[in-house]
Structure 1
Amino acid sequence: MATKLSLREGFPVLVLALFASLTFVLPAQAVEIQRVTSPGGIEAWLVEDHTVPLVAMNFSFEGGSVQDPEAKQGLTRLLAATMDEGAGDLTSEDFQARMEELAISISFETGKDRFYGSLRTLTSTLPEAADLLTLAVNEPRFDAVPVERMKAQLSARARRNQTDPDAIAGRALADAMFDSHPYAHATLGTVETIEGLTPEDLSAHHGKLISKSALTVGVVGAIDAETLKPILDKVFASLPEKSDLKPVAEVEPDLGEEVHRELSVPQTTILVGLPGLKRNDPDYQAAYVMNHILGGGSFTSWMYEEVREKRGLSYGAGTSLSPYEHSALLIGSAATKAERAGETVEVMLEQFERMATDGPSEEELRAAKQYITGSYPLRFDSSGKIAGQLVALQNSDLGIDYFERRNAEIEAVTLEDVRRVARRLLTDREPTIVTVGPGQG
């Protein structure tokens, strides 16, 4: 059988090397975005660059794993795994062989709130790539044999997650903070729910999810607007106008619960959860800078310094912001010896309290902003990354000029902004704490 093409896994080594060699670096300020609308009304954001003969397209549809029914968790993830496993009159083997022959990559994946797809192709094979993508988006086959093969792969991963401390901790945190909300569902699904999924489930779910409703498209590379327009119509114009999505409620994460999952492993994994900020919150950039200082800045962050460098409690400790469409989290994480788990949690909570009461110094703020603005061009060192950024900007409604504004917004964050958002996020809130590992004693 032909090797399944994906830029993330299983992509033939020579082809992967070819695509890697065709990347380019564009400063964020130099990215000129065109708003392209096809005759059929499909809009895309385009960055035209003819430096290399490569075209990258990313796109997304409204509705991700939150649309999975309770008893069919993993359905959207399986949909992503099977949409390129045969389409139209091409079987799975034929479809994969055709992509491999032409050095084309088509892949799909899902998040909590949106369903994503991508195309990578050389300009010389763009017409064939557009044909294959059109089939995959509009006419996936969901034949029994490849569906069962993909189910087996996802089930094996779900089974491994049952003994993986990070996966167990993540599931426990989601359960504790989101309770019965769909955000608590396992995006991958469970061994039991995956087993029950059928080709008929996939076909019905595809009909509900894949539509022009809230479609966003980003395209980067050696292609102009007039060439792109008929491709947009070919791939997307025949889709239904509206998705058939169930409404998803806003949810405020639950706080104050302490959860321990017993697991016979050398270390204890720790997660500390608090509510965060959505991406469109006016305080988000200040929160982003604050998080960098607190734990997002790796070797320079407070968490790393206090947990690892000063006390040797963990190889690494940090924090991250996780904005969703209907909620948001701020998560601290670390792993340590079981007998020192309590001490590690205390040190982590001390950093939260220190940020809420004292905040950073002017020098720490200056260094954080310098790093954040200086590293921003790394998000633009390949066509695929830029295409992904174009989709993300549209999904978050940040505006077509965001690349030009972003660093100025970071530079405008003041010490009082950081201290204000720290008080907003960290004061008078009892975090949810999850530990996974040996008994704590």
Structure 2
Amino acid sequence: MSRHMPPARTHVQARAAALPAALALRIGGVLIALALLLAALPARAEIRIQEVTSQGGITAWLVEDHTIPFAALQLSFRGGASLDAADKAGATSLMAALLEEGAGDLDARAFARAQESLAASFGYSVGDDSVSISAKFLTENRDAALELLRKTLIEPRFDEDAIERVRAQMLSNIRSDLKDPNAIAGQAFSKLAFGDHPYANPQDGTEATVSALTRDDLLAAKQAALVLGRVSIGVVGDITPEELAPLLDALLGDLPQDGPPLPPRATVQLTGGTTVIDFATPQSVALFGHEGLALDDEDFFAAYLLNTILGGGSFESRLMTEVREKRGLTYGVYSYLVGKEEADIWMGQVASANDRIGEAISVIRAQWARIAEEGVTQEELDNAKTYLTGSYPLRFDGNGPIARIITGMQENGFPIDYAATRNEKVEAVTLEDVNRVARERLRAQDLRFVVVGQPEGLEAN
């Protein structure tokens, strides 16, 4: 149930994904041994979450686990790339990428050495609606690791040489995206869906906007994005509530309490039809969708189950069966519910040869209409419930993933017992619920397809 659009991941996300492996190579056996220990831990959804409030009024959710001397911290600040003005697009992404390129009295190299010596890893990522920051650290180095993290939040240096180095990396990624059919489709789809709303702007900006960003722009982006009053915090591992509370004040207490207004509600502007973007490639890629429904909608769980049956990633889904298995039109076709803070879309993706993408789109439209008209069977619903309830505990496969989950629960306004009750909500959905939602919420005539390639026999409208 991602709250962000799927296409190209940002430069910051790529750096964050690569960081733990790079650290393991640099510091040898410490993190490798720790990773092996984490891999041996059982997946669990029955977790005990405690709410911890510091003396300064900062609240976090904590899952204690003292089996190994290690903990994970997740911070998520509401706002993200949607706070960027159109002519400053990419400012938040560039800012976040620079947070560990030197902080306080440590330049980039000194900061990297300090991080290595503590066997700590930090990650920074940006989405339309949030800036997410993660940290993993050993108990013996906890205070020093969090002080180093504090410096990145409060005292980032934004040295000119670091700015230019990271800017060049971002510009390289932006240019690469201009040649990536998936990135082209994602940006075009966002523009059609959101018009002049900030969601239509690329998270990493454009060559023009990123090239023009100044150090003052980055300082302003940090001040706007890293706001104490908009943070959700999850902590998992070898730490007690009594130990955590003062660390929250030390880590975050110097951040500004308030920031600029968040973006307004976005009107989803998609209309039925097909958009074709000419691109020289033997295989066309397509994104498609129409307006969806929010996480707090009373019909969300019925829609979630319905989407699992329609195209939710299983080889048993309707779309996979009809488009791939029966006709061999694609290697994969998927649908998913995209929930942003200020907009919701029911969408999907497919890729097929230029001479077959038109047929694939016709089949998708037909299946979208068929499931709306005829509904699903009890057997399909039972299978979807088994899949969703059985796979849910597998998400709780380590301190870091659990920290992300409980932080996401706070962001989405879920109660503290959501992890324990989520499967009950899935099981409570009836066949009547799912088929009513199919009739009311699936609208094949409103599907907009954005196709990038050189499709044969497919007309844009």
TM normalised by structure 2 equals 0.92
Q: Distance in 2 between matches of 1:148 and 1:378?
A: 41
- Pair 1:189 & 2:205 matched: yes
Q: Distance in 2 between matches of 1:88 and 1:188?
A: 26
Q: Which moved more, 1:307-316 or 1:101-110?
A: 101-110
In structure 2, what residue type is equivalent to 1:237? G
The DSSP-based 3-state class of the residue aligned with 2:446 is coil
Judge conservation of contact 2:197–2:266 (CA < 8 Å) in 1: no
Q: Residue by residue, what CA displacement relative to the aligned partner does 1:277-317 show, whole Å, maximum 9, x if unpaired?
A: 11111111111111111001321111111111000000111
Q: Which moved more, 1:239-248 or 1:369-378?
A: 239-248
Q: Residue by residue, what CA displacement relative to the aligned partner does 1:220-248 show, whole Å, maximum 9, x if unpaired?
A: 00100011111101011121111123542
Q: Residue by residue, what CA displacement relative to the aligned partner does 1:61-93 show, whole Å, maximum 9, x if unpaired?
A: 121111111011111111110111111111111
Per the TM alignment, residue 429 of structure 1 is displaced from its structure 2 partner at its CA by 4.4
Tell me which residue corresponds to 2:36: 21
List runs of 5+ in structure 1 lacking aligned partners: none
Q: Which moved more, 1:180-189 or 1:305-314?
A: 180-189
- Pair 1:324 & 2:340 matched: yes
The DSSP-based 3-state class of the residue aligned with 2:370 is helix
Matches within 5 A, 1:49-198: 49-198=65-214
Tell me which residue corresponds to 1:348: 364
Q: Distance in 1 between matches of 2:455 and 2:62?
A: 54
Judge conservation of contact 2:285–2:451 (CA < 8 Å) in 1: yes
Per the TM alignment, residue 7 of structure 1 is displaced from its structure 2 partner at its CA by 5.5
- Pair 1:292 & 2:308 matched: yes
Q: 1:174 to 1:5 in 2, by over 3 A?
A: closer
In structure 2, what residue type is equivalent to 1:103? A
Aligned positions, number: 437
TM normalised by structure 1 equals 0.96
Q: Which runs of 4+ in 1 moved over 6 A?
A: none
Matches within 5 A, 1:303-318: 303-318=319-334
Judge conservation of contact 1:99–1:105 (CA < 8 Å) in 2: yes
Q: Residue by residue, what CA displacement relative to the aligned partner does 1:327-376 show, whole Å, maximum 9, x if unpaired?
A: 11111211001011111100011111111111211111001100100010
Q: Residue by residue, what CA displacement relative to the aligned partner does 1:239-284 show, whole Å, maximum 9, x if unpaired?
A: 1111123542332342224211111112000111111111111111
List runs of 5+ in structure 2 lacking aligned partners: 1-12
Q: 1:253 to 1:398 in 2, by over 3 A?
A: farther
Judge conservation of contact 2:79–2:225 (CA < 8 Å) in 1: yes
Q: Distance in 2 between matches of 1:284 and 1:210?
A: 30
- Pair 1:236 & 2:252 matched: yes
Tell me which residue corresponds to 1:263: 279
Per the TM alignment, residue 195 of structure 1 is displaced from its structure 2 partner at its CA by 1.1
Matches within 5 A, 1:214-233: 214-233=230-249
Tell me which residue corresponds to 2:396: 380
1:40 to 53, 56, 67: 56
Judge conservation of contact 1:49–1:222 (CA < 8 Å) in 2: yes
2:449 to 427, 433, 438: 433
Per the TM alignment, residue 127 of structure 1 is displaced from its structure 2 partner at its CA by 1.1
Q: 1:246 to 1:43 in 2, by over 3 A?
A: closer
In structure 2, what residue type is equivalent to 1:339? D
Judge conservation of contact 1:66–1:248 (CA < 8 Å) in 2: no
Judge conservation of contact 2:81–2:127 (CA < 8 Å) in 1: yes
In structure 2, what residue type is equivalent to 1:8? A
Q: 1:7 to 1:210 in 2, by over 3 A?
A: closer
Judge conservation of contact 2:289–2:346 (CA < 8 Å) in 1: yes
Judge conservation of contact 2:271–2:447 (CA < 8 Å) in 1: yes
In structure 1, what residue type is equivalent to 2:423? N
CA RMSD of aligned residues (A): 1.7
Q: Distance in 2 between matches of 1:26 and 1:343?
A: 42
In structure 1, what residue type is equivalent to 2:298? P
